[in-house]
Amino acid sequence: MNILIAGGAGFIGHNLSLALELLGHSIYIVDSLTDYGAIPKLEILTLATERMRVMSENKLRAPHNEDIKNTNEIAKVIKRYDPDVIVNLAAFSRVTLVHNDPVMASDSLIKGLFNLLYSPSNIKRFVQVSSSMVYGNWPTSNYEHYISEDVQCNPIGYYGILKYAGEGIVKQYCQDHDVEYTIVRPSAVYGPRDLRDRVVPKFLSKAAKNETITVNGESSVDFTYIDDFIKGMAQCVVNDNAANETFNITREKSRTLMEAAEIAIEITGSQSQIQMAEQSTLFGKRGTCSNTKARNLLGYDPTIDIEDGFINTWDWLKNKI
């Protein structure tokens, strides 16, 4: 199949592109290579260079540098490539940035999405990557409570609200135009070649420097290692059983932020102290996402816990600090 991946040079995107290429599909990547207006340009450049090297070594074509918010140009790209499937990974993947500048964020999360959907194409499936943030608060008495895809969503903050709106937009378009959809809800995906301001590399970096690690609240997070996530994500793109379904693609094993900080300290041999802070109201109280549907319909089988996933991430990160 011809598969166009918007945001395909990002952390998840370049890994997914590699996996789908290995499955024999033709991949076309569109990416604006944004710094989100907040990430140091040198870090973005260094990461982009590393990701491009990995993609080049695997004979993936270079990404097309285009912003999905550019209506006319993205339409030309889609018309020229004529994909069978579009995967939308292009997003403002920063809760705080979305909160601070919802107008700019909605340009990407809403206008960009409409541009992908309504560009001239003959697509058979549209895959929308959403977020576990659409669920809002887990039951406060039990963060281990498993949230399944059929629970009523109650997103907190602009990020979760815009992600949930994106799900509805995709479903409506696909219903109106007889196109299959698949909605993917990840949770705390981490691993090598990710930005260093995310929670896992941030904890590891703080620990490596013997700096105090701040843990925001007692909530649990369903940390999902990138290799596990990509196995499920690839099936959401190509598997017939994924048509018109919504999936939690997660480890299904939440861990507290305190546990994550302690493991980062142990791995790095750190003397760091851990400081507790209040839970951020932007993130809500999180927990475990049930992946039973993905296991049953897609054969999804995640295996990597944070004890091993953090080591893999540290092996990549330690020479970059």
- The predicted pLDDT at position 207 comes to 97
- Alpha carbon 238 to its chain's center: 18
Burial class (CB in 10 A: 0-12, 13-18, 19+), 56: exposed
The average confidence (pLDDT) of the chain is 91
Question: What's the whole-number mean pLDDT along residues 144-169?
Answer: 92
Confidence of residue 139 (pLDDT cuts 50, 70, 90): confident
Cα–Cα dist 316/318, whole Å:
6
- The predicted pLDDT at position 197 comes to 86
Least confident of 91-100, 147-156, 160-169, 172-181: 91-100
Cα–Cα dist 39/196, whole Å:
9
Cα–Cα dist 71/80, whole Å:
14
Confidence of residue 38 (pLDDT cuts 50, 70, 90): low
pLDDT higher at 218 or 119: 119
What are the respective helix, strand and coil percentages of the chain, to the nearest 5?
45, 15, 35
List the domains of the chain with CATH numbers: 2-320 (3.40.50.720)
